[in-house]
Amino acid sequence: MRSYQIQAAGAAPELIETDLPEPGDGQVRVAIRACGLNFADLLMQRGTYQDTPAPPFTLGMETAGIVDKVGTNVTHLKPGDRIAVYSGQGGLADFGVFDAERAIALPETMSFEDAAAIQIAYGTSHIALEHRARLRPGENLLVTGAAGGVGLTAVEVGKLMGATVIAQARGADKLAVARAAGADHLIDADEDLRERVRALGGADVVYDAIGGDVFKAAFRATNPEGRLLPIGFAGGEVPQIPANHLLVKNLTVIGVYIGGYLTFRPEVVRNSFETLFRWHGKGRIKPHISHVLPLDRVAEGMGLLKERKSTGKVVITP
């Protein structure tokens, strides 16, 4: 089988031939049909992601496919079952072995590509906005990087939750994608973010995937008692938050890391995925997938993320 693998620390990933893995106790082997790419995959290649596995390991955090073989003590899954797995690694391959407890059955109406695109991006946004920020109908939600993999889902989920969505992205094409997802107001990355948001009534909740100066501007446009969600740092700079300003405006900065819930409250992730899969079945959400590429073009897909040439998700189909 083929596997897109990092074999040593600091080494570039390679598509190599490996042995077919065998599932152990409590595990399943999956014939992978789709794997979503994430910015975290790029960080893992640099060794800077908080959960980078020790090499050698196969990249690919969110997968969907068909159960090929089950290990011992697995009773709720059988060969032929269609499942999604938030695996954290191992998805960019023809086959993968994963813990059975992380698998979620796929509705017959959901494609493998959609299943691979929903988990991390929609899961992060849903948990951030519903479970952590407690976004309320009628509030102003500012989403930065609103045409990216997670930002676009925040626009969609925020609108479903009844918020007025202010979307910031770079260029008319990306802003059009955000509008199609439900954004009420659009701000180009070249505009003065603080002044534009304040003119729209300020932000009650900020969902920021960029960091750096963008976060600083959003911070200054946040209303008293607002909540800020630093989701990612695609701009490269982790913002430093002035605690005295938090005090004066009664602001709350809320950390959100979906992978962390798998270790201390996995039911939060499972409940979120089940909600999202129901929404998908009812046509309330539809992943925006800008590129679908075969496994032998995964490096090209990573390049699209790195150069910010994709919108929504890039999905690899082994």
- Looking at residue 51, its pLDDT comes to 86
Residue pLDDT, tens place only, 44-66: 998 888 889 999 999 999 999 99
Residue pLDDT, tens place only, 121-141: 999 999 999 999 999 999 999
Tell me the one-letter amino acid at 25: D
User: 122, 280 in Cβ contact below 8 A?
Assistant: no
Homologous superfamily (CATH) of 134-253 is NAD(P)-binding Rossmann-like Domain (3.40.50.720)
Q: Which two tokens stand for residue 236?
A: 């490269």
Scanning 59-143, the segments in alpha helix (DSSP H) are 112-126
- Looking at residue 229, its pLDDT comes to 98
d(CA 192, CA 45): 34
Residue pLDDT, tens place only, 88-99: 999 999 999 999
Nearest alpha-carbon partner for 223 in 138, 124, 125: 138
Tell me the one-letter amino acid at 63: T
User: 58, 4 in Cβ contact below 8 A?
Assistant: yes
- Output phi, psi for 264, to 5 deg: -125, -20
* Domain boundaries along the sequence of the chain: 2-118+259-317, 134-253
- Looking at residue 100, its pLDDT comes to 95
35: Cα separation from own chain's centroid: 12
Q: What is the mean pLDDT of the chain?
A: 95
Rg of the chain over Cα atoms, rounded to whole angstroms, equals: 19
Q: Which two tokens stand for residue 168?
A: 């910031």
Q: With a cut of 50, which residues of the chain have pLDDT below it?
A: none
2-118+259-317 CATH pick, 1.10.230.10, 3.40.1160.10, 3.90.180.10, 3.30.930.10: 3.90.180.10
d(CA 243, CA 109): 48
